[in-house]
Amino acid sequence: MADPDCIFCKILAGELPATIVDEDERTIAFMDIAPATRGHALVVPRVHTVDLLSVEPEDLRAVADAARRLAGRAKDRLSADGVNLLNSCGSAAWQTVFHFHIHVIPRYDGDPLRLPWVPSPGDQADIAAAAQELAGR
Ligand code: 5GP
Ligand code: ZN
């Protein structure tokens, strides 16, 4: 169930310190050690699993519910103006800790975070081709 090399499993086991802000049967949430903004927290399932594609559906639902709970608290208690939920799946997508988690990042008007891409019109043929590959079962 736990991975002995996983830092989030060690936090879950109480072997590493963390500032826990929410817990339920399936999840815990704790403060990110290197916050992007004030109040940045991470929600993780208690059961070790690597990423979005391997997490059990019930755990995914529980993590999503907990992330929404914290997003609401960020607005109510930290006076956040908005919230980003972020999941990185795979090292190409910036994942660095391979225990599934969702970042809950409170956002404040004028904070320094920026979109990591520059929106610009895409190639219509390539959008359509990608859509054909993605669509359906
Ligand atoms: P990822 O890059 O995998 O999406 O997110 C991993 C997050 O875990 C990073 O934002 C990083 O700051 C955070 N993190 C890494 N090590 C620790 C730790 O030991 N304790 C806590 N609380 N957060 C950590
Ligand atoms: Zn783990």
Amino acid at 80: A
Ligand 2 center to 106 CA (angstroms):
24
Model confidence over 61-103: pLDDT tens digits?
Answer: 999 999 999 999 999 999 999 999 999 999 999 999 999 999 9
Q: Is the pLDDT of residue 112 over 80?
A: yes
Mean pLDDT on 58-62: 98
Query: Over 90: is that where the pLDDT of 2 sits?
Result: no
User: What CA–CA distance (Å, rounded) separates 29 from 20?
Assistant: 6
Ligand nearest to the CA of 86: 1
- The pLDDT of residue 137 is 83
pLDDT digits (tens, 9 = 90+) for 3-50: 999 999 999 999 999 999 999 999 999 999 999 999 999 999 999 999
CA atoms of 25 and 47, how far apart (whole Å)? 11
Check whether 1 has a pLDDT greater than 90. Answer: no
CB contact at 8 A, 80 and 39: yes
Pocket residues: Cβ below 6 A from ligand 1? 7, 16, 18, 30-34, 42, 88, 94-97
Q: Distance, CA 122 to ligand 2 centroid (Å)?
A: 38
Query: Which atom in ligand 1 lies closest to the alpha carbon of residue 87?
Result: 4
Q: Whose CA is nearest to atom 18 of ligand 1?
A: 33
Span from the CA of 99 to the centroid of ligand 2 (angstroms): 5
The yes-or-no answer on residue 101 being catalytic is: yes
Q: What is the rounded end-to-end Cα distance, in angstroms, of the chain?
A: 31
pTM of the complete model beyond 0.95? yes
